[in-house]
Amino acid sequence: MTIGPIDHVYYMVQDMDRAVRFYQDVLGLRLLRRDDSFWAELDGGSIRLALHGTREGAPVERGGAVAAFRVDDLEEATVGLKEHGVEPAHQGEVEGYGRFVLFPDPDGNLIEIIEYAPREEP
């Protein structure tokens, strides 16, 4: 059996219009495909980030994966998110590796932005 590379990751969302607006307007991702309130795919660079709608009234189940987006300037990206009303849920640093900020999307799914530490050449 052969498993290929990751094709996409997805989050469950209750309000597809609100979620698509967030990922387009706040994160700047380009919408690739939209199937009403059931499915949307956005250009996440090397893989697609997808949104899967819930049945009406069904709760959004959270947990599991976190989509992480690389940034060149963590402070600038954090300020930009705050300007859109997005408040960080957690921030931290792994010494010698990078600094990160976790924040929720409108449905409470966690997203991470990460600035990697400069690498020293051996």
User: What are the Cα distances from residue 72, in Å, to 37, 86, 87, 99, 112?
Assistant: 33, 19, 19, 11, 13
User: Mean pLDDT across the stretch 41-68?
Assistant: 81
Three-state DSSP state, 39: strand
Cβ atoms of 106 and 22 closer than 8 Å: yes
Strands 67-70, 110-116: pairing is parallel
Which band of pLDDT confidence, cut at 50, 70 and 90, is reported for residue 64?
low
Strand order in the sheet with 110-116: 67-70, 110-116, 98-104, 90-94
- Give residues with Cβ within 8 angstroms of 43, minimum separation 6: 29, 30, 31, 32, 49
Q: Could you tell me where the DSSP H helices lie in the chain?
A: 16-21, 74-83
Which band of pLDDT confidence, cut at 50, 70 and 90, is reported for residue 109?
confident
Residue 68 has pLDDT above 90, yes or no: no
Give tens-digit pLDDT for 2-14. 666 777 888 889 8
- pTM as predicted: 0.76
